[in-house]
Amino acid sequence: MTDTAPNRVATALRYRKLAVDAFNEAQAQYEIAVLDHVTARIVEAYPETTHLTFDHSTHDRTVELHGLWTTHHDGTEEPVLDVRRDADTTTLDMAELADDLSDALAGLHSAAWSAVRPDPRPDRRWTLDFPPADRIVRIAELVRAHHPHAQLITVDFAGDTCRVLDVTCADVSQADSGVIKPIRATDERPLWPENTERRITALARQIHALPHLRARHLARVGGPDEHTAFLLLPQTGTSKK
């Protein structure tokens, strides 16, 4: 056996990994695109809707829609449509939308699961939060509610979930406005409440899955094998000078 055989095996394995990575990236892009499509369809018909509730079968991975909901500024929820009771009164094809979500959530590690959280009500199993019209603006609002002078966050995308490693803020106590100060997350001093972390990382993962948003808002940290990235925060109406 010549020494070309091991080289051919190594080359084949390398190309196989590249193919798997490309497939997984395309799959995640598709899952988030379906999520956005379902959101757009429902919001067009019911603009006040912020989330929906559904049951997810562990047997055949299908979704059964329960209801559409709106969340008011004080945090209270109000039903918009009871899907199981009033499906015949809406112009939306709820069965088609349920099929679309079944497809997007079919994988155990689907990127679309980033928008899903357990529902606290005993008669409903899951809540799907609709992505905002501008994900990066919403992230900036959530971050600056706790760190008003934040300029960017560092996000670790390793594995099927992601986490915020630190927040980089402008140090307004210094005369030089270019001075920045990173604030690192620790177990003893988290950057914000757990629910805020969940909302930020869900939107960050969705941005990471969409190439046009990833190219616009994420800057890679380290080499090609690193999973961390800077997420640059835009100026918003809620940010402080």
Residue 241 banded pLDDT, cuts 50, 70, 90: very low
| Predicted confidence (pLDDT) per residue in 152-191, tens digit | 999 998 877 789 999 999 876 665 555 577 899 998 999 9
Least confident of 22-26, 78-82, 117-121: 117-121
Other CB atoms within 10 Å distance of the CB of residue 102? 18
Nearest one of 110, 1, 135, 134 to 56, comparing CA atoms: 110
Closest alpha carbon to 107 in 26, 51, 40, 162:
26
Q: Does the pLDDT value for residue 238 go beyond 90?
A: no
Q: Do 203 and 214 meet the contact criterion of CB atoms below 8 Å apart?
A: no
Angle at 221 between CA 218 and CA 223, to 5 degrees: 125
Residue 204: pLDDT above 60? yes
DSSP assignment, residue 192? S
How many helices (H) does the chain have, and how many strands (E)?
Answer: 6, 10
Considering only 71-85, 195-209, 221-235, which range has the smallest mean pLDDT?
221-235
Furthest C-alpha separation in the chain = 73
Residues 6+ apart with CB under 8 A from 147: 167, 169, 183, 191
Burial class (CB in 10 A: 0-12, 13-18, 19+), 6: exposed
Task: Report long-range pairs for 20-23 (Cβ below 8 Å, ≥24 apart).
Answer: none
Identify the DSSP state of 187: S
pLDDT of residue 125: 86
Alpha helix segments (H runs only) across 90-230 = 94-104, 135-144, 194-209, 211-217
Question: Are 198 and 139 in contact, with CB atoms under 8 Å apart?
Answer: no
Q: How confident is the model at residue 239 (pLDDT cuts 50, 70, 90)?
A: very low
pLDDT at 136 over 90: yes
* DSSP 8-state assignment for residue 125: -
- pTM metric for this prediction: 0.85
Q: Which residue has the tokens 């088609």?
A: 96
